[in-house]
Amino acid sequence: MITIHVDKIRKQFGSTVAVDDASFSVKKGRIFGLLGPNGAGKTTTIRMINYIILQDSGTITINGMKVSPKTQKMIGYMPEERGLYKKMKVGEQLLYLARLKGLNSTDAREKIRYWLNRFDASDWHSKKVGELSKGMSQKIQFIATIVHDPDIYIFDEPFSGLDPINSELLKKIIIELKSAGKTILFSTHRMEQVEQMCDDICLFNNGKVVLTGNLRQVKKDFGKNTVLLEFEGDPSFLDHLENVRMNNRSNNFAEIRLLNDQDPQSILVKAMESVQIQRFQLVEPSLNEIFISTVGEDNIKNMEVLTN
Amino acid sequence: MNWRQIFLVLQREYLTRVKSKGFIWATILVPIGFVVFVGIVFFISIWESDTTFEIGILDETGVMAEALTELNPARYVDYSSLSADSLRSLVQQEEITGFIQMDEENIEAGKNLELIYSGSGGIQLLTSIRTDMREVIRQERLRRANVSPEIRQIYDASIQVDSRRLTRTGDEQDDDTIFLSIIGMIMGIVIFGAIFSYGGYVTRGVIEEKTSRIIEVIVSSVKPIELLTGKMAGVGALALTQFTVWILAFLGLTAVMGPVAAMVMDPAEGLANTELSEAQSEIPALLDLPAIDTSLFVYFIIFFVLGYLLYSSLFAAIGSASDSETDTQQLMLPVGAPIFIAYFIMLHTWRSPDSTLSVVSSIIPFFSPILMITRIAITEVPFWQIGLSILLMILTFAGTMWLSARIYKIGILSYGNSVGFKDLYRWIRQ
């Protein structure tokens, strides 16, 4: 069953086309990754799904309904640019945000109490957000996103700016939401970070959808054509390899994508001549690699961002 | 537009501010300040004539010194027995403030008198000495001319113009033009200040939501136009709360002020009898304020609300296009300018409320909130002018709100670039 259906949407700001004829579907109960470099059009797309800005053409439906203030209430949204009213107390603030999402005060209060307890944050109820540490206010932000218990969750670059503890907490929440049958869509430019979490993906580049589908299937289609090499010794032999692309390279590690049916054995031979091999593994390509080979190196706007 | 959402926003805007210490203090301190101000004016009026300036009279006519000391014994002293030089040294030693030498020529030939003095006392002293001198010389001349008492009486009579207002309905009222002019000016100034300060609340509120980055969370639940409306209404409700408290405090204080002042006066028996009676006659003039028509307060609220809506919609747009308060300055100029122009015209209007400039400017929507209320307070403004100005303000507000909503909805999600008028124009067209 399809929860979010995006059909041929387009959005233009002045002369810039931010999203161009993008289509994809998010299935119920799955984790969907919207991936691509910064400036690819992910946030614009997410804002249109959230009915914050309107598309110039195309349609977006949530559970079959066109996006509207009504569909907004079915979504818990955590934007990339996030924050809270600094001078408001935690409890009042959560109550306000929950009521804006359509809850009545009684239900809202009960849910707020539940979630504050869950995060060991009951003591913060009467504290002003400005008095909280950054990590604490991030937790309050999570609660603000999920307090009205929607069926759909959208996180825009959720892990950027989170401390490690809260990153783990958020991952846990996402997995937990999924097992409760909720639908989750999140965007990120750090592809390696989310490989383990996503069921389905959609790759964005320059406002266009370049690839979408089930992550396992996508990877399978690309075949086992990537070598992971771990070694000790002088890494300069890597520069002399032909018909390959280096994706992730350091002094004792390399992720090598084989091009033009290059035989992995020949790489092993060359490596053995120059260094001490500690690991040699033939694997499916990483999402990064899939993205690069789909759009072509020259077409990526923000290469640096993508690979670091 | 979803009214529930607007109401929730309004409620938040109102409650977070009305509970803030700054608001509570301002609401309390202004009436206290008013009492203190009136109190100061009151006590100044009682002890005004505390210091006396002694003026020596070197009289060669034999009549003037007596007439002057009779007129004001505290001020004029007969020093005719001394020489001009010794009087000079008295002034230098600051024994006396100054002296005047008088002879027959001053009376008969109208020669100018000369006051030699240390320079203290100011204009008030000079004016009153001048009046005294004219008075005694005129009296002496009349006496010498053997004018009959009837004619002297004619000269003594000082005719005053009492004014009474005849209203359209045929009532005659005591004329309070001077009092009402001051009220009109105060109301104009209050609206001028209120538009800026509450408009500032709106601007800062919009910027706060941008800088704290909560705005996108909010607009994922509320339409920008609902947020804007709720915000303006919330701050507007705050303003009305404050004004209601102030108006009630003003009415209450003016009602009790008379009796309180009378109580204060009783223990002040140390004052000389004449001074006391003089002071008592001044108190009613100061404290027995003419009643202000309730309709004037109603108009005040109407014009404030419309002016506030008109300008705060623009202030909100400015806030949405800025990342910080310092960013607002460039954009603030064209919005602030009409308020200042209206303020300067008001400084003319309160003295001449029916001049063409006053009438025409008071109908221009951006000036009306300040100028029309000043005119309504002071003069009989034809109803069509009031009605027209209200209608034009409502229409203009519809326009500014439309404009503002278009800028606001894009501005709140734009960060980083300093926005100019070109960008605003593009946003409006988008």
Confidence of residue B270 (pLDDT cuts 50, 70, 90): very low
Do B126 and B41 lie in one domain? The reply is no
Question: How near does any CA of chain A get to the CA of B400, in Å?
Answer: 22
In a domain, B170, yes or no: no
Q: Does B426 touch chain A (CB under 8 A)?
A: yes
**Count of domains observed in chain B:** 2
The whole-number pLDDT of residue B276 equals: 46
Q: Is residue B387 part of a domain?
A: yes
Identify from B209, B210, B211, B221 which residue to disrupt to test chain A contact, counting A C-beta atoms within 10 A and taking the largest count.
Answer: B221
SS3 of residue B418 by DSSP: coil
Q: Which of A147, A181, A214 is the last residue of a domain?
A: A214
pLDDT value of residue B258: 67
Is B161 inside any structural domain?
A: no
Rounded to whole angstroms, what are the CA distances from B58 to B101, B105, B143, B144?
5, 14, 21, 21
Please tell me whether residues A249 and A288 are part of one structural domain.
yes
Chain B hits for A99, Cβ within 8 Å? 8
Interface predicted TM-score of the whole assembly (ipTM), two decimals: 0.83
Confidence bin at A57 (pLDDT 50/70/90)? very high
Mean pLDDT of B192-216: 92
Helix (H) or strand (E) holding A77: strand A75-78
Query: First and final CA of chain B: distance in angstroms?
Result: 21
Question: Are B256 and B368 found together in one domain?
Answer: yes
**Domain extent at residue A194:** 2-214
How far is B120 from B109, CA to CA, in rounded Å? 30
Closest-CA residue to A140 (of A151, A129, A126): A129
Match 């009579």 to its residue by tokens.
B157
Same domain, B235 and B264: yes
In whole angstroms, give the CA distance from residue A49 to residue A61.
Answer: 8
Q: A195 and A122 share a domain?
A: yes
- Cβ-in-10-Å burial (0-12, 13-18, 19+) of A19 comes to buried
* CATH code, domain with A271: 3.30.70
Could you give the number of structural domains in chain A?
2
Chain B residues in contact with A69 by the CB 8 A cut-off are 2, 5, 223
| Residues A284 and A228 sit within 8 Å (Cβ to Cβ) | no
Residue A30 sits in a domain whose CATH number is 3.40.50.300
pLDDT at A58 over 90: yes
Last residue of a domain, one of A214, A238, A261: A214
pLDDT in tens, A87-122: 899 999 999 999 999 999 999 999 999 999 988 888
Picking from A64, A60, A39, A31, the residue whose alpha carbon sits closest to that of residue A154 is A31
Does A188 share its domain with A292? no
Q: What's the pLDDT band for B242 if we cut at 50, 70, 90? A: very high
Cα separation, A256 vs A246, whole angstroms: 5
pLDDT at A200: 93
B221/A84 CB distance under 8 A: no
Instruction: Give domain status of residue B378, yes or no.
Output: yes
Domain identity same for B189 and B112? no
Residue B162 lies in a domain: no
Q: Between B63 and B343, name the one with better pLDDT.
A: B343
Q: How far does B222 lie from chain A, in Å, by closest CA?
A: 7
A140-151: average pLDDT: 93
Span A249-264, mean pLDDT?
84
Q: Are residues A231 and A196 in the same domain?
A: no
Among residues B380, B221, B146, B89, the alpha carbon closest in space to that of A72 is found at: B221
3-state helix, strand, coil in chain A (%, to 5): 40, 30, 30
* Structural domain boundaries enclosing B229: 3-45+175-429
CATH of the domain at B71: 3.40.190.10
Q: pLDDT, tens digit, for every residue of B294-306? A: 889 899 999 999 9
pLDDT at B343 over 90: yes
Neighbours of A272 (CB within 10 A): 13
Q: Any CB–CB contact under 8 A between A148 and chain B?
A: no
User: Is B84 inside any structural domain?
Assistant: yes
Do residue A131 and residue A209 come from a single domain? yes
* DSSP bridge pairs for A77: A154
- Looking at the fold, whether A119 and A248 belong to one and the same domain comes out as no
- Average pLDDT for A206-220: 90
Q: Are B23 and B17 in contact (CB under 8 A)?
A: yes
Which of B123, B156, B189 is where one domain is finished?
A: B156
Q: B411 lies in a domain?
A: yes
H-type alpha helices, A119-202: 134-146, 164-179
**pTM of the full predicted structure?**
0.79
Tell whether the model's pLDDT for residue B48 goes beyond 70: no
Measure in Å the smallest separation between the Cα of B307 and chain A Cα atoms. Answer: 29
Domain boundary among B156, B189, B207: B156
Cα A67 to its chain centre, rounded Å, is 22
* Structural domain contains residue B165: no
Q: Is A144 on the interface with B (CB under 8 A)?
A: yes
**Residues A140 and A93 placed together within one structural domain of the fold:** yes
Please indicate, yes or no, whether residues B26 and B73 belong to a single structural domain of this protein: no
Nearest to A81 among B12, B213, B221 (CB): B213
Q: Judge if B262 and B362 occupy the same domain.
A: yes
Single residue among A214, A247, A266 that ends a domain in this structure? A214
Same domain assignment for residues B197 and B287: yes
